[in-house]
Structure 1
């Protein structure tokens, strides 16, 4: 398995993987699957901020992706990012999510990030919750019935992982630039 930065040529694979989560899952609250062009624009927006947007591929086939984006747009959040991770249905449970999310965590540490957040759709999403827990995230809360998708109310699970000493020391450097806020 190769983990590498996502590129424009990955757009169709990103759209297929994410589109499956949109149409059949609760990990995202989007209800209309984005196009390849939409996914490529999202990828560029993340990478243009200097943040990681990575894919995992086997034999040239992209099986999953993960990235870290701003947690919230205000300047005080500049040391905190939020991760997202998606894996193709046929690759779930095979280490793809672990590989690509681990690489995103390492990239966030290298950026000096102090907190990495996960906002996981569906409190029954044992795969994503278990993956995050296994990588050192702790559950910090549940938002009950905050979304309505596929005919039912859906929770969100908040998880958090401190990086680079977390809040044990004042931050060094200027953090991540978040759209000028």
Structure 2
């Protein structure tokens, strides 16, 4: 026998090979946010405060501030939902809050959706958006506004467009974060 023949590896037929380890499916459930979720919500949000321009907040939100916001939104009957893994980890959240404080604006809300770092790119954002829209309609809300950073949030703008939001305006150089000026894109969707 030739030396080359010894080096030839035999390959088992596909049906006799060990199966390749499959990537675990991305599983979650959507539910109303609860007070015990707030430390996780705060952690997700504060990651964006510290590392991105998708929020113009420069200071991390405290748990006390989140508890106050949670109580306020609950009192108003505003949707505030979380995506939870089977192990109980909060993967992301979505909420609406009053667009303005004046009573005449009571049927108009601003949406917010934030995902944990390990949950991005898996289709969870659109799932949360659809659920938020559905729950906002059920709550009797009529208009939803999105205020999106004009730089670094292209995926958010695209997602909102996919849900029927239309651009209604832009504001340039209204925020200053990480030593640069930032603007916003305003988008709106009727919930009728």
What SS does the aligned partner of 1:118 have? strand
When the two structures are superposed, what TM-score results if normalisation uses the length of structure 2? 0.81
For residue 50 of structure 1, what is the aligned residue in structure 2? 77
1:15 matched to 2:42? The reply is yes
Query: Shift of residue 78 of structure 1?
Result: 1.8
2:109, 2:144 within 8 Å by CA — same for their partners in 1?
yes
Higher relative contact order (CA 8 A, sep 6+): 1
Unaligned segments of structure 2, at least 5 residues? 1-27
Query: Shift of residue 160 of structure 1?
Result: 0.5
When the two structures are superposed, what TM-score results if normalisation uses the length of structure 1? 0.86
Unaligned segments of structure 1, at least 5 residues? 165-181
Match of 1:132 among 155, 160, 163: 160
2:53, 2:152 within 8 Å by CA — same for their partners in 1?
no
Deviating beyond 2 angstroms after TM superposition, the runs of 4 or more aligned structure 1 residues are 35-38, 121-124
1:3 matched to 2:33? The reply is no
- Alignment: residue pair count: 164
1:87, 1:97 within 8 Å by CA — same for their partners in 2?
yes
Query: Shift of residue 161 of structure 1?
Result: 0.5
1:82 matched to 2:82? The reply is no
How far apart are the structure 1 equivalents of 2:162 and 2:118? Answer: 21
Query: Shift of residue 130 of structure 1?
Result: 1.6
Query: Shift of residue 38 of structure 1?
Result: 2.2
